[in-house]
Amino acid sequence: LKTFRPKKKFTHGTMRYSLYKQAQASLNSGINLRAVVKLPPGEDLSDWIAVHVVDFFNRINLIYGTISEYCDSTTCPIMSGGARFEYLWADGEKYRKPTALSAPQYVSLLMDWIETQINNENLFPVSTDIPFPKTFIPLCRKILTRLFRVFVHVYIHHFDRIVKIGAEAHVNTCYKHFYYFIMEFELINHKELEPLAEMTSKVCKDFASPRQTTVSGSIN
């Protein structure tokens, strides 16, 4: 499988690297995904969220990379999730107003934008000595909301390709992990989840309670 762009890695020996390894070990042990996403006792919530945001960025990059050659401006002239949902791009800089783009353009700009955020040590501190900024949770909400839109596009427009290459189980597991995480900490507005609501109810059958821990912070 080709990776859409270079993977962001955690520095070996750091506390966040340890948290990442802990999360991976739990995930690989095959235990319930709803238990895997819970904040480990004594750990900092922002650190836990930072580790997962970076990990989901890497995983969703890889998933999109598997279908990217089938997602071009001809097949996907708009960034959509079915007939009812279209996503516009805005970054406050080059695209000051929400702008209609093709799916590959949108995803490319999105991944560049996320990479810039997570590599900015003022936004995602590398050292635990440096506190997270007050904007951290709202920024993570925005990153995860936009990453969810990549899931929407892949599932609705390219799932036949995912099935064809035998990656369906992998993508579904990644989606479940992502979904349980954002629900555990209320990181995405429920309206954003609507495009995949039907599929989610099938894939995440064991999900009953919609809310566990509330994290403050708004998203635009």
Residue 114 · residue 60 · CB < 8 Å: no
Q: What are the φ/ψ torsions at residue 190 (nearest 5 degrees)? A: -60, -30
H helical segments located in the chain? 15-28, 33-36, 45-67, 103-119, 136-164, 168-184, 197-203
Provide the pLDDT for residue 15: 52
Provide the pLDDT for residue 112: 95
Query: Residue 78 has which token pair?
Result: 């708009």
Count of CB atoms situated within 10 Å of the CB of 25:
11
CA dist., res. 218 & res. 135, Å (int) = 9
Question: 34: phi > 0 → left, psi -120 to 50 → alpha, else beta; which?
Answer: alpha
Residue with tokens 């949108």: 106
Domains along the chain with CATH numbers: 15-73+105-203 (1.20.140.30)
**Residue 69 carries which DSSP code?**
G
Burial class (CB in 10 A: 0-12, 13-18, 19+), 100: middle
Provide the pLDDT for residue 127: 80
Residue ranges for the known binding site are 71, 76, 153, 158
Closest CA to 16 of 113, 93, 86, 118: 118
Residue 180 · residue 211 · CB < 8 Å: no
Residue ranges for the known binding site for Zn(2+) are 71, 76, 153, 158
Rg of the chain (C-alpha set):
17
DSSP string, 155-203: HHHHHHHHHHTT-HHHHHHHHHHHHHHHHHTT-S-GGGGGGGHHHHHHH
Residues of the chain with pLDDT under 50: 1-4, 6, 208-220
Query: Residue 99 has which token pair?
Result: 């702008």
Provide the pLDDT for residue 36: 87
